[in-house]
């Protein structure tokens, strides 16, 4: 028997004056107009789309959503204009993806292509952060932080400004096209396109100096690729946030499926507390039931929670793939509860376990600290710690060595053996540097750098410009006899002439 259906009648139902009312309440389905699902093989893959007219709502969660929206979109649109002084030879943009020079700048951090393991670390952190959020509060990412949600929310707000709130918009949509309706619709699409265009415009500013690119875009001197990307992103933003909206969450995004597989029964989800709400009855019906000592739930079946939902979900039907956990139905229901003088949070972030506990007279329990949340938190702390340590101790100089594949060695006319290597030296500092190159592991070997005749004693000198890398070809000649089939480990070391820590790379010297 479903929740709230076990109503004890004082007399046989058909004899009681409220029999019809009680039967109505007892039979009230959890979802209005509920129809049992057809067998699996008869279910369509896609339901016909019903246009959603989300109603304006105020309340705690709406305020949180506004705050998150302003902060996240504010960061996105303004961040390219934040300046960061790195000295005369480096860009002054705080966040910049510099493809031509193959650098990523993030405030005081500069990532080179050789350091892409930082990106791996960031991806692990992002995944673990998402898993942790999911383990604590379900799809809270979807409800507050997901770009699709943020821009859809903005577009729906524009729609309410121009076409009116739910009721007005519904009425207008049911009427023939008039000049007023046309003007409102045109204004809406114009504003949507402006937001979409600015969104695409902001994106390209992350790839070049923002003030310069804005000037070049305005004077039509920017590279063609910038206009192409702005056009593409304008189109995708306008389509995804203006037209497709909840369809992206329900049909296109993989996260709801992954999230459903990752969640557990302790994760807080937006939950209709059916132990309180059922059986649903309007105020009038509830008063009549109470008068005769019969139970009635707190839900007055006003459907406000459904009308404000941006994805059109009736949360009273239980967990739903379309529910993005935005909490707006909580605000709507709280306002209703306040009006009818009943306790708030008939819909709340809660768990089914707590509903069962309350039904059994136990106090609800909230287990945020569980093995999986601890595991995710530990991974986040460990990866952040490793990345911070690597960043704090990273050196400005680095060397990579690659042995020539063919030939492995050359025998010279005097009988000595020579191996050749490509040696890449990285100078990540903003000053030019000269390095002394040396090797260990092969006594009395000669070192030559092709194209360079500068030496410090027997060691070649190699200069590398500020924030640059330089590849040189190095010849190593062994003066001593090497045993047949030799593969001798050697270490290349570069040390800055001006002082500082030397760095090394290992390779081998091959014999016949």
- Which of 130, 309, 355, 495 is in the footprint of ligand SF4 by CB under 6 A? 309
DSSP string, 439-474: EESSTT-EEEETT---EETTEEEEEE-TTEEEEEEE
Long-range Cβ contact pairs of 313-321 (< 8 A, separation 24 or more): 314/31, 314/32, 315/270, 315/271, 315/272, 315/347, 316/30, 316/31, 316/272, 316/274, 316/277, 317/30, 317/31, 317/34, 318/30, 318/272, 319/269, 321/250, 321/256, 321/260
CA distance 487 to 507: 9
Question: From the CB of 327, what's the least distance to ligand SF4, in Å?
Answer: 5
Is 296 a binding residue for ligand SF4 by CB under 6 A? The answer is: no
| Identified binder of ligand SF4 from the candidate list 323, 426, 437, 445, rule CB under 6 A | 323
In the three-class reduction of DSSP (H, G, I as helix; E, B as strand; rest coil), residue 390 is classed as helix
Q: Does 346 bind ligand SF4 (CB under 6 A)?
A: yes
SS3 228: helix
Residues 60-79 that bind ligand SF4 (CB under 6 A): none
Piece of 219-227, 260-268, 293-301, 402-410 that binds ligand SF4 (CB under 6 A):
293-301
Return the structure tokens found at 120: 């791996």
Tell me the torsion sign for CA atoms 161, 163, 164, 167: negative
Using the minimum distance from each CB to ligand SF4, give the nearer residue, 181 or 342: 342
User: CA nearest 463: which of 511, 498, 439?
Assistant: 498
Count other C-beta atoms under 10 Å from residue 254's C-beta. Answer: 7
Region from 324-332, 353-361, 363-371, 469-477 binding ligand SF4, contact rule CB under 6 A: 324-332
Residue range at the interface with ligand SF4 (CB under 6 A); choices 74-82, 104-112, 146-154, 304-312: 304-312
Residues 6+ apart with CB under 8 A from 217: 201, 226, 227, 230
Residue with smaller CB distance to ligand SF4, 200 or 310: 310
Residue 360: CB atoms within 10 A of its CB come to 8
Q: Quick one: which of 26, 30, 135, 315 contacts ligand SF4 (CB under 6 A)?
A: 315
The neighbouring-strand residues paired with 440 are 491
Position 301 contacts ligand SF4 (CB under 6 A): yes
Shortest distance (Å) from residue 246 CB to ligand SF4: 8
Q: Min. distance of Cβ 342 from ligand SF4 in angstroms?
A: 9
Token pair of 384 as six digits: 């952040």
- 255 CB-contact burial (10 Å; exposed 0-12 / middle 13-18 / buried 19+): middle
Judged by phi (left if over 0) then psi (alpha if -120 to 50, else beta), residue 235 lies in alpha
CB of 280 to ligand SF4, least distance (A): 6
Among 73, 96, 128, 324, binds ligand SF4 (CB under 6 A): 324
Within 226-285, which residues bind ligand SF4 (CB under 6 A)?
270, 272, 277
> DSSP character for 255?
H
Dihedrals phi, psi of 272, to nearest 5 degrees:
-80, 120
Question: Given candidates 134, 156, 311, 469, which one binds ligand SF4 under the rule CB under 6 A?
Answer: 311
**Residue 362 neighbours by CB under 8 Å, 6+ apart:** none
Q: Select 322 or 441, whichever has its Cβ closest to ligand SF4.
A: 322
Question: Which is closer to ligand SF4, CB of 58 or CB of 396?
Answer: 58
| 58: phi then psi, degrees, rounded to nearest 5 | -125, 160
Question: Is 22 a residue that touches ligand SF4 (CB under 6 A)?
Answer: no
The pair phi, psi for residue 276, each rounded to 5°, is: -95, -35
**Could you tell me which stretch among 191-199, 257-265, 316-324, 373-381 binds ligand SF4 (CB under 6 A)?**
316-324
Nearer to ligand SF4, 318 or 500 (CB): 318
Stretch that binds ligand SF4, among 108-116, 130-138, 162-170, 332-340 (CB under 6 A): 332-340
Options 328, 425, 437, 439; binder of ligand SF4; rule CB under 6 A: 328
Residue (169 or 433) nearer to ligand SF4, CB: 169
* CB nearer to ligand SF4: pick between 313 and 436: 313
Residue 417 lies near ligand SF4 (rule: CB under 6 A): no
Check binding of 150 to ligand SF4 (CB under 6 A): no
Using CB under 6 A, list all residues that contact ligand SF4. Answer: 270, 272, 277, 299-305, 308-309, 311, 313, 315-316, 323-329, 332-333, 336, 346-347
């Amino acid at each position: 028997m479903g929740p709230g259906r076990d109503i004890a009648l004082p007399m046989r139902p058909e004899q009681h004056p409220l029999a019809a009312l009680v039967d109505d309440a007892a039979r009230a389905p959890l979802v209005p107009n509920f129809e049992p699902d057809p067998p699996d093989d008869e279910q369509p893959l896609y339901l016909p789309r019903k246009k959603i007219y989300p109603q304006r709502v105020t309340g705690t969660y709406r305020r949180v959503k506004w705050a998150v929206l302003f902060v996240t979109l504010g960061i996105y649109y303004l961040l390219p204009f934040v300046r960061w002084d790195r000295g005369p030879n480096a860009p002054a943009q705080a966040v910049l993806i510099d493809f031509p020079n193959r650098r990523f700048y993030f405030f005081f951090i500069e990532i080179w292509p050789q350091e892409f393991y930082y990106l791996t670390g960031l991806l692990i952190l992002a995944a673990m952060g998402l898993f942790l959020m999911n383990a604590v509060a379900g799809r809270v990412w979807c409800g507050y932080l997901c770009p699709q949600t943020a821009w859809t929310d903005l577009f729906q707000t524009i729609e309410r400004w121009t076409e009116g709130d739910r009721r007005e918009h519904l009425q207008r949509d049911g009427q023939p096209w008039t000049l007023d309706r046309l003007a409102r619709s045109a204004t809406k699409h114009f504003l949507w396109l402006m937001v979409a265009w600015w969104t695409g415009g902001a994106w390209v500013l992350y790839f070049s100096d923002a003030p310069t690119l804005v000037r070049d875009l305005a004077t039509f001197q920017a590279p063609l690729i910038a206009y192409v990307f702005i056009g593409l992103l304008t189109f995708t933003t306008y389509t995804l946030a203006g037209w497709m909206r909840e369809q992206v969450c329900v049909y296109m995004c993989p996260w709801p499926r992954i999230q459903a597989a990752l969640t557990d029964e302790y994760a807080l989800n937006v939950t209709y507390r059916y132990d309180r709400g059922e059986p649903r009855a309007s105020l009038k019906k509830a008063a009549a039931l109470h008068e005769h000592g019969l139970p009635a739930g707190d839900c007055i079946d006003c459907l406000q929670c459904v009308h404000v939902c941006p994805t059109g979900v009736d949360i009273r039907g239980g967990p739903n793939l379309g529910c993005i956990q935005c909490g707006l139905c909580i605000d709507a229901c709280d306002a209703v509860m306040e009006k009818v003088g009943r306790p708030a949070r008939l819909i709340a972030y809660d768990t089914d376990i707590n509903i069962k506990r309350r039904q059994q007279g136990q106090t609800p329990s909230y287990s945020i600290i569980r093995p999986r949340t601890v595991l995710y938190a530990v991974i986040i702390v460990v990866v952040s710690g490793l990345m911070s340590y690597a960043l704090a101790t990273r050196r400005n100089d680095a060397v990579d060595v690659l042995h020539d594949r063919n030939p492995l060695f050359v025998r010279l006319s005097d009988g000595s053996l020579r191996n050749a290597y490509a040696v890449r030296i990285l100078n990540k500092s903003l000053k030019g540097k000269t390095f002394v190159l040396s090797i260990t592991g092969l006594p009395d070997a000669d070192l030559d750098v092709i194209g360079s005749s500068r030496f410090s004693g027997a060691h070649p000198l190699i200069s590398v410009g500020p924030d640059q890398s330089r590849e040189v070809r190095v010849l190593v000649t062994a003066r001593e006899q090497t045993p047949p089939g030799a593969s001798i480990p050697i270490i290349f070391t570069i040390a800055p002439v001006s002082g500082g820590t030397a760095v090394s790379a290992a390779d081998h010297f091959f014999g016949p």
